Structure 1
Amino acid sequence: MNLPELPDTPDSIPDGDAPYECTTTTVDMQEKQARLPNEASRQYLHLKVEYSMRFPRLTAGVSSKGKSYNISLKQLMMSGLIRVDEIARNYFWYYKAEVPFDMRTTPPRPYLSSTLLKTEGAKRRHTTNPFPESGKGIYRRPDIIIVKNQQDRWPGLAGPDSENAMHVDNLERLVEVKFPEDKFGREQYGDYMLIVGRDRNRLTILEIHDCRPDEGKQADHVFNVTGKAVSKYWPMFFFPPIFLPRPPTTPAAARIEPWTYAVKETVASLAENAADGWNTLSADLQGKLKYTAQWLNDSGKWVHVQAQGVWHWVSDNGKIIKSWTDHELLTAWSGIQRVTDLTLDTLKKIDWIQILTDVAKVAGVVLVSIGVGFLVMTLGIPEALVAALLLIVRLAIMAWDALATVLAAGAAAATLSTQ
């Protein structure tokens, strides 16, 4: 794979709102307030940025609620690519996407995984639940945290976590990425300065500028409409910049799903408009989810037989196509919680769900959802649990009371068994 050449690191840090003057023919990163820690971090982020810049804005619809959302895929793609790298290394990685910080503490402390508390204690990873607590203004989710020591999962300044276990300072840099049209207000800036302990040298504002010639920008537009690379300006189409731990001779199995290029149509939900959403997936992913296809792209319904503890997918002609037991559902939900920290409360808030990128099994599958307050999030789900997550989200929409009763009863039983 031919990687793009990087522009030279600037000699000084630009500041203010002066117009940016391009000096290259690529995607530029303008570092404001503080430079990135080193050239390696600059190269790593530039690869993610350059790939993410190629993706458009699109519309996602939630038919049952009569809602539609305009989504800029650039930030979502950037977070997703970093999250895959994190998952592949079990979160022992220098770069961490969208870590939530509790703004009620001094300094603000990162939320750690609640699911892994009993098994991993103070050494557990940060939470991947985009709703760590209910309420507005409680937490912030910076775009990227760069840590000093990748063998230490703690992504914050020195201080106690929520269980009062002490941690050393491991926060090298907070990076806020501003793609074109992104906003970064004073209140957000003030909160981020609190997260870094008011140390200006730990906050990098990374403004992204598209300095490519018109031919390159037009190639993106054509690709986003047709899904076909048409020029040298799409050199990394089949190789997203995902850095999996693997032998050098083994290619990275990674593919960005084709729905992300849909600029002229509303993206269908796999949770609601399942048949339409299914058609937007790549043939490879459809093959991996072939058993899910038995119900996902059918217009029937799920029926819960409480006395038997079984869920049946019944097609419109009355035929039972697929069945899940309560036990299978609970086992899958437990596995999903271990990797995502999702809660029942969070599950109820999810409006929309789609698959963003299909990667090697070691990394899992990253999904995108929209919840309360127009929050876009990425989740890393192991391939074996993707079908179960799609089912659980579908049931949350179609049969919330029955699903919540089953999952809540299972959680209560698990708690009693550990006491």
Structure 2
Amino acid sequence: MTSPSQPPLATGPTSPQGATTVVKLNSPQLDAADKKVLCSAVCHCKNTPGIGKDGRSLKQVCVSNQLKGLDETLRHRSPYKPEINYDMTKSPPEPFMDKEVETKSRDLWPGWTKTLWPKDPTRPVPYKPGKGYVRRPDVVIVNDSTKPPTQDNIKKVVEVKFPPDEYGSQQREAYVAIAGDEKKLVTLTPDDCDCDKSEPDGPKVPVEDAGTVGAILALLYMIMTKRPPPRGLAY
């Protein structure tokens, strides 16, 4: 698959350090409610990511764990689905979902490529790692949280990138295939979330979404901090 055309670049204002900000025009964006929720996890994990046994910062793992905790708390009906595995041999790509709970990601076990994968005769056998048969976006936002994250229910596919992370080989193209539209793939970074500001400029959430977003943020706060949310948690 060829790479999608890149949006034009514009030169933005000069930062206090003297560097010029480069802005992508017409780049897909999250709406205010979704950005508020995901940025709360991104900024938390940027500042308190946890450290792996090898000493590496686990920022990506942190974001995934927060959103998995949110989905579990909401009985797998969160609109924010982290790390769903998609079968890229299907057109459109199909998510691996639990056999009993269709909104829950299927837990894949060691050796699943030798047991589960061959059960579908349309799949290439044997499974070959590195061929791109399966892809796992950071977050899939669904339109209807009571239904699985199939392409007809995908609002946005979000790839969270903590510098210096970049897209891998064919990764962007695969995520566009999952989303079904280049305009539905969004890259989210700590800079997009203003994580370095003492009081980030949060997106203005529409009044009709404020209650839902406030409740989700309160749940995320409890998951991230293991404490009750403070009074007046802003949304």
TM-score range, shorter chain: 0.5 to 0.7
CA positional deviation for 1:133: 4.0
Distance (whole Å) between structure 1 residues aligned to residue 97 and residue 80 of structure 2: 16
CA distance in 2, matches of 1:253, 1:243: 6
Using structure 2 for the length normalisation, give the TM-score. Answer: 0.64
Question: How far, CA to CA, are the matches of 2:108 and 2:10 in structure 1?
Answer: 34
Letter in 1 for 2:219: L
SS in 2 for 1:40: helix
Which of 72, 80, 83 does residue 98 from structure 1 map onto? 83
1:183-222 aligned at under 5 Å gives the runs 183-197=166-180, 199-209=181-191, 212=196
Does the C-alpha gap of structure 1 residues 142 and 155 become closer, same or farther in structure 2, counting only changes over 3 Å?
same
Cα distance in 2, alignment partners of residues 212 and 124 from structure 1? 34
Task: Extract unaligned runs of 5+ from structure 1.
Answer: 1-12, 24-29, 61-68, 158-168, 217-240, 246-251, 257-357, 361-419
Larger radius of gyration: 1
Deviation track 1:95-117 (CA, whole Å, cap 9, x = no partner) reads 0110110111111110011xxx2
Counterpart amino acid of residue 87 in structure 2: D
Query: CA separation in 2, counterparts of 1:91 and 1:185?
Result: 29
**Residue aligning to 2:201:** none
Deviations 1:63-83 (CA, angstroms, capped at 9, x unpaired): xxxxxx353321111111111
SS in 2 for 1:58: coil
Aligned counterpart for 2:36 among listed residues 39, 43, 56: 43
Relative to structure 1, the CA distance from residue 18 to residue 211 in structure 2 (aligned partners, 3 Å threshold; closer, same or farther) is farther
**For 1:242 and 1:86, how far apart are their aligned partners in 2?**
13
Shift of residue 21, structure 1, vs aligned partner: 6.0
Change (3 A) 1:17 1:255: same
Once the two structures are superposed, residues 341-369 of structure 1 have per-residue CA deviations (whole angstroms, 9 ceiling, x without a partner) of xxxxxxxxxxxxxxxxx689xxxxxxxxx
Q: Which of structures 1 and 2 has the larger relative contact order (alpha carbons within 8 angstroms, sep 6+)?
A: 2
Q: Secondary structure at the match of 1:204?
A: strand
State the TM-score, normalizing by the size of structure 1: 0.38
Q: How does 1:103-142 map to 2 (within 5 A)?
A: 103-113=88-98, 117=99, 119-120=100-101, 123-129=102-108, 133-134=112-113, 135-136=128-129, 137-142=132-137
Counterpart mapping for 1:2-21 below 5 A: none
Q: CA deviation at 1:46?
A: 1.4
Q: Tell me the residue number matched to 2:65.
A: 80
Q: State how far apart, in whole Å, the 2-side matches of 1:20 and 1:179 are.
A: 23
How far 1:14 moved relative to its partner?
Answer: 7.4
CA distance in 2, matches of 1:181, 1:204: 17
Task: Provide the identity percentage.
Answer: 26
Match of 1:174 in 2: 157
Structure having the higher strand fraction is: 1
Report the counterpart of residue 125 of structure 2 in structure 1.
none
Runs (5+) with no aligned partner, structure 2:
1-5, 17-22, 114-127, 199-215, 229-235
Candidates 128, 138, 147, aligned match of 1:143: 138
The superposition leaves residues 217-269 of structure 1 with CA deviations (integer Å, 9 ceiling, x where unpaired) of xxxxxxxxxxxxxxxxxxxxxxxx86439xxxxxx75565xxxxxxxxxxxxx
1:99–1:141 contact (8 Å) kept in structure 2: yes
CA gap 1:92/1:58 in 2 versus in 1, 3 angstroms: closer
Written as runs of structure 1 = structure 2, the 5 A alignment for 1:246-285 is 254=223
Is the 1:57–1:70 contact (alpha carbons within 8 Å) kept by the matching residues of 2? no
